[in-house]
Structures are given as C-alpha cells and as structure tokens.
C-alpha cells in the first residue's frame, strides 16, 4: 500500500491547483486520474486558447443554491493572484469582450504552467488510474484502484462535472459525496445550446450560421450578447448564458433589435411618407431570411403607408419580444458546465472540507457552484482549490 499525506482525485484545473498549493506547504501529494492525460478540459477550453479568468469576478456571476458560499474563496484567491502566476510564466494573453482573458497562443501554456508548478512542488501525478473503492479506516482514507492500494490523511475530490463524457467526465465525485452522506443537488447541463421543437427546427434550421446581437431573457436573467442559429437549434454566448437559468418547458424572450425602437422608427418613416414595403424596411435591420421566418408574408408585403399602428405594434413585438419555447438542450454532450452538485452547505467555505467528514475536501466544478461563460468557471476552480490547498 502506498502511503501519502494527500490524494487528489482529478488532474484537472482544480486538482492541479490544489496539488501545487499543498505541495508548496511540504505535503506529500499524489494526484490520481483515470484519463490518459492531465487537464484535458483546459486544453479544449476557450476554443483552444483557454479563457482562464475575467477582469471582473463578482459573486453574481455564479449560480448556487448557496449564493454566498463562493465569496470567501473568490476573495482569498482572486483573478489578480492568477494573473500574477501567468505573469511569472510570461504567458502572453489578451482581453476580449466583457473582461474575458484568453491566452494569445494556446491553452497548453496554462496546462504547462500548472504541470511545471506541480513538478516544482514535488507533486506526483498518476494517470490511467481507475479507483474502485474508497474506505475510511481510522483517520485515513484507503483507496483501491487498478494500479494498487493507497492511503492518505486528506482526500480531495476534484473530479469536475458531467459535461463532455468523451473527455473523461464522470459522476464519481457525486458518488463519493453520497457514500459519505453528503447531499448532492440534482445536476443538469449548463452553458449549453438549446434544441428546438420539431416545427421550429424545420423553420429555423435554414438560418444555420446566422449570428445576431440580441438580448435573451427569461423571468430570472437577461444577457446581451450574440445568438447563433445552428442546424440543431440556438447557440452563441447569449443562449449559452441563459441556458444556465432556463427551466425545462419555459419560453425565452429574444429582442432581436435591442438598439432600435422599431415601432418609433416605422411610425417616423410613415410620417415621412416613405413608400417602401415593410419587408424592404426590415431587411435593412435584420437578415432577410430571418425576417421571412418570423413575420407573415402578407404583413411584410404591406406598404408602410398602409400600416396601421396596430400592425406596426405587431411587427415590433415580434422582433423585440420574439418568444420561443426550446425543446430542451443539447445536454452534457456539448455543455460547458454542470449545474448542481455537492451541497455547499455541507462544506466549509474557508477550507472546502466536509463539515461532517474530517479531511474530506471538494473543489472545483463538482461543488454546486457554476460560473457564467467568460472565465468564471476556471476562476472558481483556481480559487476553491487554492483555499483547500492551504489546509489539506
Ligand atoms: P475538470 O473537469 O477540469 O477535471 C476533472 C478531472 O477529474 C478530469 O481530469 C477527469 O479525467 C478526472 N476524473 C473524472 N472522473 C474521474 C474518476 N472516476 N476517476 C479519476 N479521475 C476522474 N471554463 C472557463 O472558465 N473558461 C473557458 O474557456 C472554458 N471553456 C470550456 C470549454 C469546454 C468545451 C468545456 C467542456 C468546459 C469549459 N470551461 C471553461 C469549463 C471548465 O473547463 C471547467 O469548469 C473546469 O475545467 C472545472 O475544473 P475541475 O478541476 O473542477 O474539473
């Protein structure tokens, strides 16, 4: 049996960060992962450039049944702390919209930095390890695996969420929580494209590839971003963001012209005796194909001069408050994150340790903390793991 101080299950963003911090404190750290490579999600993130944090990190950018839980960790290890690390490794990066920070070259820069830090801190990373059993015996955790048995004083669960099973995502972390009597909130896919009802799919799949700046909202949230029509449904940042706030069966409202008061524009043009049809006028605001799908042909054929206030209001409502009821989401196959997870009320927000099971820690996405699109999920991984790393 291999004996060590700390075992971390999961060599992803949070597992590696926790290992670095614990290793720096002189703890003997072993990271176990069933995958054949560490940090696979880091490598595929941000289109290969890893949106590793954001200039503006606020608790409101996170979703949890316990919205206060994330505050302490985010305040103790901030985006500026991670940027200081990036700076030390001279990793070139740039800012995109909404303060999102991406590598200039490759997400490999982030993974290599973490692996170098692990190496410097004496951390051992063992891949291809399937853990078959975990037991608590006395003050130790005993793990059985296809590579042998291990014992440790502190066990850290850093197994992430369920998104992209092809990349090695499993429900193992939730099962460990349940094994030790820790509540797990039901999980569902977040930051995920919507699929459409069959009729809508037939209509809108023809628009595949069209991107529109818009405001997408429901009763709980609104996001002003781009939306993308795909051959399966709706995607793009606006949709991904709202998907994390969406409940099955609910309609979403889309303002396709958030910078224009369409009713006012049409009334003004009517007053100016503009003689064009509604179609000609609307075509200068939105892609022709989209207008054709959203507005009735008879309405579009009307000359503006023949349009009553009622018709104008009808067209404006259709384009400012287009309501569509998604059929569902694309699920974990394409989701960036998993909502729900290990109940934060059962975990210390200072140490990330279970309140009931001494020396059992949970970090990163396995916890019921889900960030918005924009580098927030990695910042949560860094912050929560850094905190645990000070105590394991
Ligand atoms: P993570 O998933 O990184 O790591 C978990 C590790 O546990 C994996 O190595 C896995 O193999 C291992 N594991 C799982 N089950 C196991 C088992 N049974 N036994 C052993 N090991 C096991 N976020 C962001 O902020 N900016 C971005 O640009 C992106 N982009 C992005 C793109 C795509 C396509 C996805 C899917 C996700 C993102 N994200 C993101 C989200 C981000 O990747 C995610 O929130 C973090 O990687 C979470 O870090 P964790 O360490 O918690 O889990």
Q: Could you give the 3-state DSSP secondary structure of residue 56? A: coil
Is residue 67 within 8 Å of residue 380, measured between CB atoms? no
Q: Does an H or E element contain 373, and which?
A: none
CB of 9 sitting under 6 A from ligand 1: yes
Residue 167 scores a pLDDT above 90: no
CB of 168 sitting under 6 A from ligand 1: yes
What whole-number percentage of the chain has pLDDT above 70?
100
CB of 170 sitting under 6 A from ligand 1: yes
* 279 Cα: distance to centroid of ligand 1 (angstroms): 47
For the segment 176-193, the average pLDDT, to the nearest whole number, is 98
Per-residue model confidence as pLDDT tens digits over 93-133? 999 999 999 999 999 999 999 999 999 999 999 999 999 99
What whole-number percentage of the chain has pLDDT above 90?
99
Q: Does an H or E element contain 103, and which?
A: strand 100-103
Per-residue model confidence as pLDDT tens digits over 296-343? 999 999 999 999 999 999 999 999 999 999 999 999 999 999 999 999
Return the residue whose CA atom lies nearest to atom 45 of ligand 1.
Answer: 377
For the segment 270-292, the average pLDDT, to the nearest whole number, is 95
For the segment 196-208, the average pLDDT, to the nearest whole number, is 95
Write down all domains in the chain, each with its CATH number in brackets.
2-188+338-389 (3.50.50.60), 193-329 (2.40.30.10)
Indicate yes or no: pTM above 0.95: yes
* 317 Cα: distance to centroid of ligand 1 (angstroms): 41
For the segment 161-184, the average pLDDT, to the nearest whole number, is 96
For the segment 189-198, the average pLDDT, to the nearest whole number, is 97
Per-residue model confidence as pLDDT tens digits over 26-51? 999 999 999 999 999 999 999 999 99
* Rounded Cα gap, residues 164 and 169, in angstroms: 6
* 18 Cα: distance to centroid of ligand 1 (angstroms): 14
So what's the pLDDT on residue 51?
A: 98
For the segment 333-360, the average pLDDT, to the nearest whole number, is 98
CB of 188 sitting under 6 A from ligand 1: no
* Rounded Cα gap, residues 262 and 118, in angstroms: 57
For the segment 186-209, the average pLDDT, to the nearest whole number, is 96
CB of 365 sitting under 6 A from ligand 1: yes
Is residue 329 within 8 Å of residue 124, measured between CB atoms? no
For the segment 200-224, the average pLDDT, to the nearest whole number, is 96
* 161 Cα: distance to centroid of ligand 1 (angstroms): 7
* 66 Cα: distance to centroid of ligand 1 (angstroms): 22
* 336 Cα: distance to centroid of ligand 1 (angstroms): 9
CB of 312 sitting under 6 A from ligand 1: no
């Amino acid at each position: 049996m291999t004996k060590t101080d700390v075992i971390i299950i999961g060599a992803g963003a949070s597992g590696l960060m926790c290992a670095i911090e614990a290793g720096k404190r002189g703890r003997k750290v072993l990271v176990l992962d069933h995958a054949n490579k560490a940090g696979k999600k880091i490598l595929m993130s941000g289109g290969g450039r890893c949106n590793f944090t954001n200039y503006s990190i606020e608790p409101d950018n996170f979703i949890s049944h316990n919205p206060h839980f994330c505050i302490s960790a985010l305040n103790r290890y901030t985006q500026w702390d991670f940027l200081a690390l990036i700076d030390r490794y001279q990793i070139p990066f740039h800012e995109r919209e909404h303060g999102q920070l991406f590598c200039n070259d490759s997400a490999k820069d982030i993974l290599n930095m973490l692996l170098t830090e692990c190496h410097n801190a004496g951390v051992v990373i063992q891949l291809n390890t399937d853990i078959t059993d975990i037991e608590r015996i006395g003050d130790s955790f005993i793990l059985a695996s296809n590579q042998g048995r291990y014992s440790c004083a502190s066990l850290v669960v850093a197994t992430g969420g369920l998104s992209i099973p092809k990349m090695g995502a499993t429900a193992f972390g939730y099962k460990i929580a349940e094994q030790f009597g820790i509540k797990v909130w039901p999980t569902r896919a977040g930051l995920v494209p919507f699929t459409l009802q069959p009729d809508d799919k037939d209509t809108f799949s023809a628009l595949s590839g069209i991107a529109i700046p818009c405001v997408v909202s429901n009763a709980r949230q609104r996001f002003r971003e781009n939306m993308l029509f795909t051959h399966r449904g709706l995607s793009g940042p606006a949709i991904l963001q709202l998907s994390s706030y969406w409940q099955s069966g609910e309609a979403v409202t889309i303002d396709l012209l958030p910078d224009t008061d369409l009713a006012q524009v049409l009334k003004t043009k009517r007053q100016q005796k503009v003689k064009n049809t509604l179609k000609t006028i609307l075509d200068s605001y939105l892609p022709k194909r989209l207008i054709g799908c959203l507005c009735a042909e008879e309405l579009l054929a009307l000359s503006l001069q023949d349009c009553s206030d009622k018709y104008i209001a009808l067209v404006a409502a259709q384009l400012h408050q287009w309501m569509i009821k998604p059929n569902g989401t694309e699920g974990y196959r394409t989701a960036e994150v998993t909502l729900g997870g290990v109940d934060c009320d059962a975990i210390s927000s200072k140490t990330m340790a279970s309140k009931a099971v001494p020396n059992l820690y949970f970090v990163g996405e396995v916890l019921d903390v889900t960030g918005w699109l924009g580098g927030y999920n990695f910042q949560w991984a860094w912050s929560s793991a850094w905190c645990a790393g000070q105590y394991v």
